Structure 1
Amino acid sequence: MKKLILSVAMAIAITSCTKNEEIPQESVEQQTELLTKDQINAKIQESIDTQGDFFWMDTDAHTIWSAVKHGDNMLTIGYGNSIDEYQRTAKSESIKDDLIQLVRSLENKGSSSKAQDELYVDETLNIIDIKVDSKETIETLLKDTRVRYLEPASYKLENFDGVSARSGEGFGCGFSSRTLSSSDYRTVAPGARVPWNFDIHNIPAAWNLSTGRGITVAVIDSGLSPNQRWMNQFFNDGYSSGRSVQKYGTYVDSWWAWSNNYDGVNDKCGHGTSMASVATAPRNNDNLPVGVAYNANLVSYRSVQNVLIDDYHEKRGVAEALTAIGNRSDIKIVSMSIGSPFSSSRVRDAVRYAYNRGKLIFAAGGTSTGFTNWYGVIFPANMNETVAVTGIKEGRYTRCGNCHSGSKIDFTIEMERNSGNFVPVLSSNDGAANYVGGSSVATATTAGIAALVWARNPGWSRSQVLDKMKRAGEFYPNRNSSFGYGNIDALKAVQ
């Protein structure tokens, strides 16, 4: 970018010396040379560093067009009569049709079958994805008052070594099992293992008053392993009974951006199984870790490949899960131990959709990956509609190695021992356990505590449940600048 600006400046200087009359200069919007990925990524990083987030609409047509060209030529258009009209209505239908026709006329696509294939229309939200080649199309749309936002649908942030943010299985994924140290749990009737941090947050004491019965928790993550029977056919076992587990899949695992072939409900990462376990694993006699709300219902959504929401199909998968959850009256709580370094307007619309239907949404303050550990509180935990949770070390308010902190954090959970061990959970392998850390496990734990509170007070609203949880925070009525209301006392929250 610096070389480009310098070249333009030199051209202006040379022209000014040779002619007295004013010569029209090429604006940023008139540039025809694509910005490189490094240049685009630098803009994203600068915005995150200075503003705490990045929004494509704060850039210009040339940046958006360059990112679209680097990302399968897919453009996401958020439309509506106003900036807050994100839900499809009869009034917005004509806007959708007009914008599709406008794009196709500008792109000279007409109504060919190929053009029809290069289109996705969200069933619930005012969002369309359409193929765009021309920068003129983007410039025209940016001037249209019916356009709420434009975003490159499938552009992925890369670090400056050219490595994709989601390359490899290291981003929260893993299928290993470990033998638990006897110092990291204690056994309770009828033979379940209580993770070491449950007692710190008074969760076992809270079980005398509430076990989550009658409350449904939705976990939006990488799915549920079919190999772990205790999260499937043995979900009702021992002291856990009369509840249900449901599995859905909204993630498309395909290199082709326009594919609509959903990949199913099964966890191919391991992260989703662990998070569902933390919140709802059964309490039985098999010497395995128990979940916080061991009598709550579970709805599992496979919506992502790993903890980073950076792929087009992941953004769409999370949005579809949130809108489906928003349409269900039985789901009270949403746990999202996933996130992105910067905002996705599609996911933002979906979060607002679910929130406006009374859902209590918990989100991880930072994903369990070294790629994002230099960011502050990530998206969507940085939204006002979500409750941000992070993990801290045992006995002190020091964030864990892969955890984030900041003014957006609402609650903390101790999840990293002085020994270095994390929290015992069920693994993806049948009848086996593992250790999991990060703000991921903290988020799922907090969602489980919310289920205990809501089950104790089934007639309460979301705001009443959240207020009771805040009052049970260690710093309440104050708020710490990095850790919010701090550690939650589950017993105090259900009393």
Structure 2
Amino acid sequence: MPTNRNRRGRSRFLVSAAAGLLLVGAAASPAQASDSTRSQQWHLDAMHAEEMWKTSTGKNITVAVIDTGVDPNNPDLKGRVLDGLDLAKGLHEGDEHSDYQGHGTGMAGLIAGTGAWGGGRGAYGLAPGAKILPIRVPSAGDTIGFAGAATMGKAIRFAADSGAQVINISMATASNGPEMDEAVRYALGRGSLVFAGTGNDAEKGNPVEYPAATPGVVAVASVGKDLRRSSFSNFGPQVDMAAPGEDMVHACGAKTGLCKGDGTSDATAIASASAALIWSKHPDWTNNQVLRVMLNTIGGPTDGAKRNDSIGYGIVRPRIALQNPGDPGPADVYPLPDLKEAEKTASPSPTASKSGEAGAPVKGDDTDANASAAEDSGSNTLWIVIGAGAAVLLVAAVAAFAISRKRRSQLPPPPPPGMPMQQTPYGGWQFTQPGPDAVPENNPYNPGRPQ
């Protein structure tokens, strides 16, 4: 089951807002005045978001956010949030539209934020045309009724049965269970893709975390503006890809509705949104084909290897996938070897790692694993271009879950007038985004809550 250790949390949250129309027209090129939130979202500049939105905004794609709930009244999420499922009923007030920690709203904002606040001065998600399916789950602090992997299994199955093409799990824990493994396989069979964060404990033992290490789950690590692995981002053979996860400004569940943070939770949301952009452009592709194209167009490690233990096969590049996706390959073949390897090395132990051995150690960080990627020669952007194809990854195993742990980062520059930026300390379940008790700009931390 998830641990309840006190830590500092590092994360950023998703922004999703008003109607899909917003990004199809004028909103496709939001103003970036110095007082706008968009001007602070570096990852959208690096990924050439405005350029991509001319081709795809994620329209007609549903992304399930399994988390602490998603607030549909956030200015940047209005019109994007569907009715979902509440698996924390009786433990927290409200339902899946009541975010008891603020984390889920943040992840939704990074995925589908429309920047609607203040007439287009709000926070944008990478796939602002996508819809969010909120699935609220209990936290590790909810000792009564907390069901661990069984609850997560129910959440994943509901998401798949509800037609969510992408399932975002910005959570991580060292524990696992067969319900997780079975639910992931079920979701893949129903045509969904599952993304999960590798965790934020690289500097605290670098444990293998689940569900990222579960066979069939795309494990996402975090990189910063320099395109190097974030110091907190867990590394090892379980890592499949990486995405921006530092200094992420987005809509969230804080009192002001706007937050800034770091974490693999944020990186996972960006990877999920990337899949939504590609799938929206190619609605006839299967989950396997969308993932294969993501891997084929990814920016790989600088050491020339097919992958490394820090960023996997590389950093997501949906812009390249939209421009020149290449051959999507067979519709019914999962492009990563996790599932086959898991079957071949099946172990009675419920704690098998992605290396195929129960309790197998995680590899040490490669010398070049933190290496930054080269500039995109075709666009002079920060985004990397060292192409790397999808190749063989090592095994995976069964899992359970918990919220990805993060550290608090510096407060961002002043937000738009009337919408002060907030940042919160780490919550009881290691959530990585500001919650309802968000800390005001002038207070570096909240002494009343665990750090």
TM-score normalised by structure 1 residue count: 0.55
Structure 2 partner of 1:470: 295
TM-fit CA distance, 1:482: 2.6
Structure 2 partner of 1:317: 151
User: Which structure has the higher relative contact order (CA within 8 Å, separation 6+)?
Assistant: 2
Bigger strand fraction = 1
Structure-2 separation of matches of 1:306 and 1:208: 42
Structure 2 partner of 1:331: 164
**Structure 2 residue 261 is matched with structure 1 residue 436:** yes
Residue 193 (structure 1) aligned to one of 38, 47, 68: 38
Structure 2 partner of 1:491: 319
C-alpha RMSD of the superposition: 3.4
**What per-residue deviation string (whole Å, max 9, x for no partner) do you get for residues 275-331 of structure 1?**
111011114334121001101111011113269999833433322111112223x31
Q: Check 1:310–1:451 CA distance in 2 against 1; reply closer, same or farther (3 A cut).
A: farther
Q: Check 1:262–1:402 CA distance in 2 against 1; reply closer, same or farther (3 A cut).
A: same
Q: Check 1:299–1:307 CA distance in 2 against 1; reply closer, same or farther (3 A cut).
A: farther
What is the number of residues matched between the two proteins?
300
Structure-1 separation of matches of 2:47 and 2:245: 11
Residue 60 of structure 2 aligns with an amino acid whose one-letter code is G
Structure 2 partner of 1:211: 57
Q: Check 1:345–1:475 CA distance in 2 against 1; reply closer, same or farther (3 A cut).
A: same
Q: Check 1:173–1:478 CA distance in 2 against 1; reply closer, same or farther (3 A cut).
A: closer
Structure 1 partner of 2:111: 279
**Structure 2 residue 216 is matched with structure 1 residue 385:** yes
Residue 175 (structure 2) aligned to one of 342, 353, 365: 342
TM-fit CA distance, 1:204: 2.9
Is the contact made by 2:76 and 2:115 (CA closer than 8 Å) also made in structure 1? Answer: no
After TM superposition, list the pairs within 5 Å mapping 1:8-19 onto structure 2: none
Structure-1 separation of matches of 2:234 and 2:5: 21
Residue 130 of structure 2 aligns with an amino acid whose one-letter code is A
Report SS of the residue matched to 1:355: helix
Structure-1 separation of matches of 2:43 and 2:12: 22
TM-fit CA distance, 1:436: 2.2
Q: Check 1:340–1:321 CA distance in 2 against 1; reply closer, same or farther (3 A cut).
A: same
Is the contact made by 1:341 and 1:375 (CA closer than 8 Å) also made in structure 2? Answer: no
Report SS of the residue matched to 1:451: helix
Residue 186 (structure 2) aligned to one of 345, 353, 376: 353
Q: Check 1:208–1:493 CA distance in 2 against 1; reply closer, same or farther (3 A cut).
A: same
Q: Check 1:472–1:377 CA distance in 2 against 1; reply closer, same or farther (3 A cut).
A: farther
After TM superposition, list the pairs within 5 Å mapping 1:400-479 onto structure 2: 400-416=230-246, 422-429=247-254, 432-475=257-300, 478-479=306-307
Bigger helix fraction = 1
Report SS of the residue matched to 1:409: coil
Residue 212 of structure 1 aligns with an amino acid whose one-letter code is G
Structure-2 separation of matches of 1:453 and 1:215: 10
Structure 2 partner of 1:223: 69
Q: Check 1:474–1:306 CA distance in 2 against 1; reply closer, same or farther (3 A cut).
A: farther
Residue 295 (structure 1) aligned to one of 124, 129, 143: 129
Structure 2 partner of 1:250: 87
Structure-2 separation of matches of 1:483 and 1:309: 34
**Structure 2 residue 195 is matched with structure 1 residue 362:** yes
After TM superposition, list the pairs within 5 Å mapping 1:83-122 onto structure 2: none
**What per-residue deviation string (whole Å, max 9, x for no partner) do you get for residues 333-383 of structure 1?**
0000012113222222222221221110001111x4x59942344111112
Identity of aligned residues (%): 26
Q: Check 1:275–1:201 CA distance in 2 against 1; reply closer, same or farther (3 A cut).
A: same
Residue 480 of structure 1 aligns with an amino acid whose one-letter code is N
Structure-2 separation of matches of 1:312 and 1:192: 37
TM-fit CA distance, 1:402: 2.7
More off after superposition, 200-209 vs 336-345: 200-209
Report SS of the residue matched to 1:317: helix
Task: List runs of 5+ in structure 2 lacking aligned partners.
Answer: 14-28, 324-451
Structure-2 separation of matches of 1:320 and 1:490: 30
TM-fit CA distance, 1:406: 1.4
Report SS of the residue matched to 1:278: helix
Is the contact made by 1:411 and 1:487 (CA closer than 8 Å) also made in structure 2? Answer: yes
TM-fit CA distance, 1:479: 1.8
Report SS of the residue matched to 2:233: coil
Q: Check 1:326–1:372 CA distance in 2 against 1; reply closer, same or farther (3 A cut).
A: farther
Structure 2 partner of 1:55: none
Residue 407 of structure 1 aligns with an amino acid whose one-letter code is P
Structure-1 separation of matches of 2:284 and 2:227: 36
Structure 2 partner of 1:267: 99
Report SS of the residue matched to 2:147: helix
More off after superposition, 469-478 vs 342-351: 469-478
Structure-1 separation of matches of 2:103 and 2:231: 18
**What per-residue deviation string (whole Å, max 9, x for no partner) do you get for residues 186-231 of structure 1?**
x824976151012223333211210001111111111113652432
Structure-1 separation of matches of 2:321 and 2:258: 28
TM-score normalised by structure 2 residue count: 0.60
Is the contact made by 2:170 and 2:265 (CA closer than 8 Å) also made in structure 1? Answer: yes
TM-fit CA distance, 1:448: 0.3
**What per-residue deviation string (whole Å, max 9, x for no partner) do you get for residues 29-48 of structure 1?**
xxxxxxxxxxxxxxxxxxxx
After TM superposition, list the pairs within 5 Å mapping 1:36-51 onto structure 2: none
